[in-house]
Amino acid sequence: MREPRQETVTRLACDGSGPTGGHLACRGCGGVLAMQMAARVLGPNCVFVIPAGCMAVIDGPFPLSSLQAPLLHIAFEAAASAAAGVRAGLDARGKHDTTVVAWAGDGATFDIGFGAVSAAADRNDNVLYVCYDNEAYMNTGIQQSGATPAGAWTTTTPRANPKPTPKKDMLAIMTAHRIPYFASATPAFPDDYLAKLERARDTRGFRFLHVFTPCPPGQRFEEQNTVRVARKAVTSRVFPLVEVAGGKALTVFDAGEPTPVREYVRLQGRFSHLDDGEVERFAAEVDARWRWLIDWAERESDE
């Protein structure tokens, strides 16, 4: 496993666009960790568009805001469209160098705002879309979303009837839109995440960052384990870190020898009802998807 480099630490220490202390995130929030790093990379010359979800609350209630950049709160399904409008308005006023960032959770992205995300990708709007994914509707109290993995407990998929279907494949969905830049990342691997943020920032057109941000209360683990859970997700290949630039050249982050999926699963209470056989089936699906991914990456690099 790689450790953050010194230059990463230096980059994280420089000023950015927030959030400042006083934000309302839960202890151990993966989402706010992702936001802190993103805001530092993006700097002050950006506009955030944030739909309903944890981050809409985390930023702070009127008249407070912990972000140091302008922020437009918008309805749940409207982040991508509102961001497209902000982009058009800024362009109309000659502010082409301002980065427009839609920052939306998995519910807003995988489910209710899905059509709008697809349309913005289709138009290749010059917008950076960040989906911070904690794999359920955590802000409303842990209901399943299209990003919830099979077998997971949520309040609407109780232990007696856990989610039967797998997580939507956002990598396949977004890259099928042939957007200029797609990457999956997690703040638990800051070098990789920061580099991807920089490339996303410096690319024009529709850029999609899929950021895995574990949620201690929602996924049922101790708040000191956020980074551990995210790292296990990557090292066990449950959440591969991938980059697709220019619609081709798929690269997969090499996290070394895989760690057992079981270790990732057993860190989280939302999987505590799964017996060993079910965990093995989970692992088999992770393995199958990993092989598909590597096969795809090799095909892409051959072309």
Binding site for another protein (CB under 8 A): 17, 44-47, 49, 56-57, 59-62, 64-65, 67-75, 77-78, 80-93, 95, 98, 115-116, 118-119, 122-123
**Residue number with CB closer to another protein (96 or 159):** 96
**Residue number with CB closer to another protein (49 or 265):** 49
Closest separation in Å from C-beta 112 to another protein: 10
Contact 194, 186 (CB under 8 A): no
Closest separation in Å from C-beta 54 to another protein: 12
**Residue number with CB closer to another protein (36 or 65):** 65
Rounded to whole angstroms, the Cα distance separating 55 from 122 reads: 26
Closest separation in Å from C-beta 285 to another protein: 32
CA distances (Å), origin 6, targets 3, 11, 254: 9, 9, 20
**Residue number with CB closer to another protein (85 or 247):** 85
Closest separation in Å from C-beta 77 to another protein: 7
Give the closest residue to 208 by CA, choosing from 79, 57, 70.
79
Closest separation in Å from C-beta 162 to another protein: 32
Rounded to whole angstroms, the Cα distance separating 295 from 230 reads: 24
Q: How many residues comprise the chain?
A: 303
**Residue number with CB closer to another protein (78 or 242):** 78
Helix (H, G, I), strand (E, B) or coil at 194: helix
Rounded to whole angstroms, the Cα distance separating 110 from 168 reads: 7
